[in-house]
């Protein structure tokens, strides 16, 4: 699927495509429902789903780890915005 993005923004196009693939692979029914939305709402919802899915996977992946270890895993995952990531201890 090719999403409309500004010319000269290949990173954004790859990001949109990645988020759509994650949504389709992990939540097929949700994916087809979101396909009915007009752009740019559709790609925004794919991105939101992919972000929330990654966050959920990180939380579920290590229930016995310490809070400090979970912070390190979370911050190194790329899921945290930079202004928050910079405040995580141990970085």
The DSSP code for 9 is -
Residue % of the chain over a pLDDT of 70: 63
Q: Give the pLDDT band of residue 47 (cuts 50, 70, 90).
A: very high
Residue 80 has pLDDT above 70, yes or no: no
Residue with tokens 């097929």: 28
What pLDDT, on the 0 to 100 scale, is given for residue 75?
64
Q: What pTM was estimated for this model as a whole?
A: 0.62
Distance CA 21, CA 8 (A): 22
Mean pLDDT of 53-81: 70
Give the three-class secondary structure for 67.
Answer: helix
Give me the pLDDT at residue 91, please: 47
């Amino acid at each position: 699927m090719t999403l409309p993005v500004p010319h000269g923004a290949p990173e954004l196009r790859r990001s949109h495509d990645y988020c759509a693939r994650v949504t389709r692979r992990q939540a097929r029914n949700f994916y087809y429902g979101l396909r009915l939305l007009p752009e740019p709402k559709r790609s925004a919802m794919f991105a939101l789903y992919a972000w929330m899915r990654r966050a959920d996977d990180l939380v579920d992946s290590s229930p016995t780890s310490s809070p400090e270890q979970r912070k390190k895993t979370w911050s190194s995952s790329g899921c945290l915005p930079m202004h928050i990531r910079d405040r995580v201890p141990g970085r």
